[in-house]
């Protein structure tokens, strides 16, 4: 796939950006996981099970518990990861940082159940996992201006040009992240695709409330993810960008 495809805009404009950059990222056109209200009305419960695993779409009590977990009344820092897969990073991070609240989102049931089991086996009790699209759930769970850190590690690059609108990192996503983060809060994005790194950095820099830096340390000072370990084994480089919410 040509590198330039990461840098060309979509051909279909979004409601908030007629140029097409970041198309498909408005609230009513998010792609992964589906609209929460529509799924509640027409979908079926997933019957997931796990110690720290929740279904905020079909279980009102789970939604209430996650809202309490993300409440700004809790003085502990709130860290959110989008797409935790099997929680290899989450367990290491939570054990190294027992004073934080970790909130992870994933749209694959198998990953959620495996991750919950892995966290319990590791003795982690400061994490909560949700089977739902983070972009749908975050505005409902996290009050604006209260999130400390938002993590997006190795999102799908969606190589084909017609799929560019599915990319997680976009100008709309950057704006929504800035809404959630407190002053000084961070959005950290990692990737093993150089074109995606350039794309993500440009999209994040377009948000005026962010100060964006390409980090010299591709690990961003954090425990390695499973993907990073594989990249290290095969000698593949990775990249990390941080966007800090400013006044």
Q: What is the pLDDT of residues 55-74, one digit of tens each?
A: 999 999 999 999 999 999 99
For residue 52, what pLDDT is reported? 93
Domain residue limits at 130: 3-245
For residue 13, what pLDDT is reported? 37
Residue 34 has pLDDT above 70, yes or no: no
Give the CATH number, domain containing residue 235. Answer: 3.40.50.150
Residue 1 has pLDDT above 70, yes or no: no
Q: Which residues contact 20 (CB under 8 A, 6 or more apart)?
A: 9, 10, 11, 12, 13, 14
Sheet holding 210-214, edge to edge: 53-54, 127-131, 101-106, 78-82, 147-153, 181-191, 239-245, 210-214
Q: For residue range 144-200, what is the model confidence (pLDDT) as tens digits?
A: 999 999 999 999 886 777 777 878 899 999 999 999 999 999 999 999 999 999 999
The residues assigned a catalytic role are: 156
The token pair that represents 83 in the structure block: 């797409």
d(CA 35, CA 48): 19
For residue 28, what pLDDT is reported? 38
d(CA 179, CA 16): 15
Report which of residues 95 and 32 the model is more confident about: 95
Task: Give phi and psi for 240, each to the nearest 5.
Answer: -140, 135
DSSP-derived pairing of the beta strands 78-82 and 101-106: parallel
In which band, very low, low, confident or very high, does the pLDDT at 8 lie, cut at 50, 70 and 90? low
For residue 10, what pLDDT is reported? 44
Mean pLDDT across the stretch 72-89?
Answer: 96
For residue 30, what pLDDT is reported? 38
Residue 11 has pLDDT above 80, yes or no: no
Mean pLDDT across the stretch 219-245?
Answer: 96
Share of the chain above pLDDT 90, in %: 72
For residue 101, what pLDDT is reported? 98
Q: Which residues contact 5 (CB under 8 A, 6 or more apart)?
A: 159, 160, 161, 164, 195
Number of domains composing the chain: 1
d(CA 102, CA 115): 13
């Amino acid at each position: 796939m040509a590198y330039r495809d990461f840098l060309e805009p979509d051909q279909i404009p979004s409601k908030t950006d007629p140029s097409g950059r970041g198309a498909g990222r408005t609230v009513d056109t998010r792609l992964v996981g589906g609209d929460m209200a529509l799924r509640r009305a027409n979908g079926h419960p997933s019957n997931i099970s796990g110690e720290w695993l929740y279904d905020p779409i079909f279980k009102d009590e789970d939604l209430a518990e996650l809202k309490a977990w993300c409440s700004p009344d809790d003085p502990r820092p709130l860290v959110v990861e989008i797409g935790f897969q099997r929680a290899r990073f989450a367990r290491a991070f939570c054990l190294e940082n027992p004073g934080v609240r970790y909130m992870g989102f994933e749209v694959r049931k198998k990953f959620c159940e495996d991750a919950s089991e892995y966290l319990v086996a590791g003795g982690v009790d400061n994490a909560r996992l949700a089977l739902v699209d983070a972009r749908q759930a975050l505005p409902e769970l996290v009050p604006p201006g209260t999130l400390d850190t938002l993590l997006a590690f190795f999102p799908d690059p969606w190589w084909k040009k017609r799929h560019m609108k599915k990319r997680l990192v976009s100008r709309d996503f950057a704006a929504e992240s800035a809404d959630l983060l407190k002053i000084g809060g961070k959005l950290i994005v990692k990737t093993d695709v150089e074109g995606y790194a350039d794309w993500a950095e440009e999209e994040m820099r377009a948000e005026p409330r962010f100060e964006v830096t390409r980090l010299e340390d591709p690990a961003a000072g954090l425990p390695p993810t499973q993907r990073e370990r594989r990249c290290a084994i095969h000698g593949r480089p990775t990249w990390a960008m941080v966007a800090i919410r400013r006044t």
